[in-house]
Chains A and B, each alone.
Chain A
Amino acid sequence: MSDLTPTRSPESAMEESRADTDPVASPVVAPLAIDVQEAAVEDSATREVVFDLHDVNVYYGPALAVAGVSLEIYKNHITAMIGPSGCGKSTIVRSLNRMNDSVSGFRLTGQCTYHGNDLYASAVDPVEVRRRIGMVFQRPNPFPKSIYDNIAWAPRILGMKENLDERVEKALRGAAIWDEVKDRLKTTALGLSGGQQQRLCIARSIAIDPDVLLLDEPCSALDPISTAAVEELMQELKRDYTIVIVTHNMQQAARVAERTAFFSLDLSEGRRTGILVEYDETSKLFTRPADKRTEDYVTGRFG
């Protein structure tokens, strides 16, 4: 890019986004971010439901890993799942696109529908499920291929071969990484930084036009600047996609999500079972939680 180009450099865009969402400077409960989200959640009641979970239990072998989860996830919302380690939030999210199928001993009971279709009906092909419900993982996992092929590989196989160059560019632009990689599309993706790799993985997911993006702790391996870039990106992406994000970082949930689900661990009677404690609009969950356990967690008194 020459100095005369009037477009903003990605660095300056990132600086700005960092200024208003600096994760280090934010208090535990970020009131500013919540105010921003408040207007958007008013219409939750009338929104289209994408996922409808009713009394979902997940077993790993004989052990009940997550019990009695019921929640609705709305279209074009960002829905966050928070809670301590081992509380089952990742398990629930990975159940939404059948990624748990390959885990030996995995079993799910209860009702889990996607646009009204039972995700666990016997006729459902998990490959088709994942084609519509993409996933970005905790650790960036680009393929050991070129940047271009990382994006183009899946569309090629899925038969979306027309205008492949355009599709790749659109995906990379959509994931806010185009300017950084446009001159090195043929070089290996493994040479990118962690934050760039994660945005490349997001680009890879949206290149096949999914309906939903599941983000499983997408920022836990990233530094604050990259985290800010990914969070800003999520706000862009929710216009086109429904997003579910698992995060350890409460401020992150407060900053990005319209609705937040708080999971916890039920340790009574020697069990170790994840439960959904509270699910509400993010602003309400963080400022006026209905459950004492939620309040203890979001105010840092957990334990």
Chain B
Amino acid sequence: MAGIDYARPLTASGNLRRRRRIDRLMRGSATAAALIAVAILGLMLFAIAQHGASEISFAFLTQNSPEQLYTPGGGIANAIIGTGLMVALATAVALPLGVLIAVYLTEFATQRTAAPIRLALDLLYGLPSIVIAIFIYGALVYGSGQTGFYASLALAIIMLPLIARTTGEALALVPRELRDASQALGISRWRTTVGITIPSALGGILTGTVLAVARAAGETAPMLLLASVFDNTRTSFNIFGQALPNIPYEIFNLAESGGKVNVAKAWGAALVLVIIVLVASLGARALQQRSMRMMSR
């Protein structure tokens, strides 16, 4: 081509210098954005740990609220138990249902029937939790009173699309060859699903379930409407009979009531919740990586 001296030293020429500046700028902004995400998480964890760590003690984890709201001492034992019970019951409802939905979608549905169900799950996932809470409140609680079970139902509705979606993805990853092998042995579709497909996808299913548990443990809106009227000085296991104390409502209540003592306790409760959720999420990641290794070997 005319006009270009190809023997010239190979340093930047023409508009390359400007293009290089833009390249550096964009690369720098993208890196900074990624770092901001990490920083936000770090900042939050740091603040919660800094404020909450001094509150956490054996007593804080094993005692209930003191009789007088503004007195120091006491703990959130009943809230931890209540959250544990309600999330466990919600999981017991949502897990089998979610896995069955996923099995239907990946193993039995045709494209035509799967698409609307997937859409419904996505919409359900996007539904604000306060809307789910008000639905349960209007349908079950209003006129009869709160119970832990009703709060569990709201949590189950929140967990359901999450479990169904992640389980569906895990089942879809199971190689078709394994299903073929099983069917070629004269095994029915359902036995193949139960005996081969689900066990092969167990890691993914567990991961999705643990993430759903972590999400449900921190859901606050349903608790405000469905599990907020209780005697906070007592521990209750009567999940079907009365509202149970729970960590999210405890944080809300303590922080909102003000006063140095209560706000400090709210930080402590927040730290407990964060630790539960973090441990669950990291555990889920470890499970997932383990199951990926199992499948790929």
Contacts and interface: CB of A to CB of B under 8 A. Distances in A.
Interface in B151-201: 175, 177-178, 180-188, 191, 195-196, 199-200
Given A153-B195, A157-B191, A191-B297, A139 B177 contact: yes
A190 B110 CA distance: 32
Contact of A127 (B110, B180, B188, B200): B188
Contacts of A130: 183-186
Residue among A104, A135, A144, A201 facing the most chain B CB atoms (10 A cut-off): A144
Point out which of B182, B184, B187 has the most chain A C-beta atoms below 10 A from its C-beta: B184
Contact of A137 (B180, B186, B195, B199): B180
A144 B294 contact: yes
A107 interface: no
Given A143-B196, A153-B195, A208 B177 contact: no
A135 B184 contact: yes
B42 to A, nearest CB: 38
A128 B188 CA distance: 9
Contacts of A143: 178, 181-182, 196, 200
B177 A141 contact: yes
Given A153-B195, A157-B195, A190-B297, A141 B181 contact: yes
Interface in A130-160: 130-132, 134-137, 139, 141-144, 153-154, 157-158
Contacts of A132: 186
Interface residues of A, number: 30
Contacts of B282: none
Interface in B119-142: none
A273 interface: no
B275 interface: no
Contacts of A191: 297
Contacts of B110: 104
Report which residue of B183, B185, B195, B199 has the largest number of chain A beta carbons within 10 angstroms of its beta carbon: B185
B295 interface: yes
A99 B297 contact: no
Contacts of B182: 143, 154
B178 to A, nearest CB: 6
Given A141-B180, A157-B191, A205 B185 contact: yes
Interface in A56-105: 97, 99, 102, 104
Contacts of B191: 157
Given A143-B178, A201-B181, A127 B196 contact: no
A88 B237 CA distance: 65
B185 A131 contact: yes
A263 B187 CA distance: 31
A199 interface: no
Chain B binding surface, main DSSP class:
helix
Nearest to B191: A157
A136 B187 CA distance: 15
Chain B's interface size range is 20 to 34
A151 B9 CA distance: 69
B184 A144 contact: no
Contacts of B295: 144
Contact of B183 (A99, A128, A153, A157): A99
Contacts of A255: none
A97 B178 contact: no
Contacts of A102: 183
A99 B176 CA distance: 12
Contacts of A204: 181, 185
Contacts of B185: 130-131, 134, 154, 204-205, 208
A134 to B, nearest CB: 6
A87 to B, nearest CB: 21
A70 B182 CA distance: 29
Interface string A109-139: 0000000000000000001111110111101
Interface string A152-192: 01100110000000000000000000000000000010110
Contacts of B297: 188, 190-191
A175 to B, nearest CB: 14
Interface string A208-225: 100000000000000000
B180 A157 contact: no
A201 B188 CA distance: 18
Contacts of A97: 184
B206 to A, nearest CB: 15
Nearest to B200: A144
A157 B200 contact: no
- Pairs of residues from A and B, 5 with the lowest C-beta to C-beta distance, nearest first: A131-B186, A135-B184, A141-B177, A154-B185, A130-B186
13 contacts: A97-B184, A127-B187, A128-B186, A130-B185, A134-B184, A135-B184, A137-B177, A139-B177, A141-B181, A144-B295, A157-B191, A157-B195, A208-B186
